């Protein structure tokens, strides 16, 4: 075997050995979320500390997007998303160092109430109508909780909704909660044209588009499915705060 052939084979083997790692590294479909609620008399201090913290310590896979929660039971809170990232990168993340933790505790956490929540979610491409990284400044999050044992039926419901969204031009990113409390799907409508997408007449009525996409009488079945398969659902509006997010 010639030296040239040996090097050629070695190079091919190296490439093959790197393929699994490359595929894993590219699978960045995980986001973590943290909801916090500042003390009413410390909002300015909180926002100043949060912005400085995000822009100094949160880059790369740990990039932050910060939203102000405008409506629903968490109105007045702040929704922080980190990622997208892979589970492998989350393994290696750690606490981002002592300086990071001290800065959070001194300049952010000190201005918060005791109320907070956190979780992980995995983006599901096959149920979504917009790419994971195609973000918008105004979003609606619908929180959907399947009844116990009805998760598969809820996925089927979302698949039929996806056909409807596609027909109507609605851009929705779908996530499944992971080790974060009750089983949950979050349907995140990303308004590319802003809140005017919610206005009457902007799109055809939901029932009309749903039945065109799924067949005559399907809307009545959809309403029955909601009653039969969902334990709970609620929604909220959130507005992006670029000034508080990673740069």
Could you report the per-residue pLDDT of 204-244, keeping only the tens digit for each? 999 999 999 999 999 999 999 999 999 999 999 999 999 99
**Whole-number pLDDT of residue 24:** 41
- Cα torsion 53, 54, 58, 62 to 10°: value is 130
Band (196; pLDDT cuts 50, 70, 90) = very high
Is the backbone of residue 19 left (phi > 0), alpha (psi -120 to 50) or beta?
alpha
Which of 142, 147, 164, 127 minimizes the C-alpha distance to 227? Answer: 147
The rounded Cα 212 to chain-centroid distance in angstroms is: 29
Q: How far is CA 113 from CA 42, 47, 102, 108, 240, in A?
A: 10, 14, 18, 11, 22
Band (102; pLDDT cuts 50, 70, 90) = very high
Band (133; pLDDT cuts 50, 70, 90) = very high
147 contacts: CB under 8 Å, gap ≥ 6: 228, 229, 230, 231
Q: Average pLDDT for residues 186-205, to the nearest whole number?
A: 98
How many of the other CB atoms lie within 10 Å of CB of 212?
15
**Whole-number pLDDT of residue 233:** 98
59 contacts: CB under 8 Å, gap ≥ 6: 246
**Whole-number pLDDT of residue 180:** 98
Helix, coil or strand: residue 178? strand
Is 57 in contact with 94 (CB distance < 8 Å)? no
Q: How far apart are CA 144 and CA 174, in angstroms?
A: 11
How many of the other CB atoms lie within 10 Å of CB of 198?
14
pLDDT score of 7 more than 60 = no
pLDDT score of 39 more than 80 = yes
**Whole-number pLDDT of residue 212:** 98
Could you report the per-residue pLDDT of 41-83, keeping only the tens digit for each? 999 999 999 999 999 999 999 999 999 999 999 999 999 999 9
Indicate the average pLDDT of the chain.
92
Q: Which two tokens stand for residue 167?
A: 């027909």
Band (26; pLDDT cuts 50, 70, 90) = low
The rounded Cα 31 to chain-centroid distance in angstroms is: 6
Peptide bond into 84 cis (omega under 30): yes
**Whole-number pLDDT of residue 71:** 98
pLDDT score of 189 more than 60 = yes
**The pTM of the whole model exceeds 0.85:** yes
Q: How far apart are CA 177 and CA 100, in angstroms?
A: 27
């Amino acid at each position: 075997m010639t030296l040239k052939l040996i090097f050629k084979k070695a190079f091919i083997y190296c490439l093959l050995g790197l393929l699994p790692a490359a595929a894993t590294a590219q699978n960045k479909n995980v986001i973590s979320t943290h909801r916090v609620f500042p003390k009413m008399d410390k909002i300015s201090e909180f926002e100043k500390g949060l912005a400085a913290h995000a822009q100094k310590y949160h880059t790369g896979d740990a990039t932050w997007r910060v939203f102000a929660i405008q409506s629903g039971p968490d109105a007045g809170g702040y929704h922080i998303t980190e990622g997208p990232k892979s589970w492998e990168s989350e393994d290696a993340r750690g606490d981002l160092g002592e300086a990071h933790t001290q800065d959070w505790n001194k300049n952010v956490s000190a201005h918060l109430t005791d109320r907070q929540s956190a979780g992980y979610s995995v983006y599901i491409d096959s149920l979504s109508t917009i790419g994971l990284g195609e973000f918008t400044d105004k979003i609606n999050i619908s929180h959907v909780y399947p009844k116990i044992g009805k998760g598969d039926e809820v996925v089927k419901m979302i698949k039929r909704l996806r056909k409807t969204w596609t027909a109507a031009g609605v851009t929705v990113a779908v996530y499944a909660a992971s080790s974060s409390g009750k089983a949950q799907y979050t349907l995140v409508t990303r308004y590319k044209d802003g809140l005017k997408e919610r206005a009457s007449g902007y799109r055809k009525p939901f029932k009309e588009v749903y039945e065109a996409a799924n067949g005559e009488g399907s809307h009545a079945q959809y309403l029955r499915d909601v009653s039969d398969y969902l334990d709970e659902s609620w929604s909220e509006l959130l507005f992006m705060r670029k000034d508080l997010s990673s740069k």
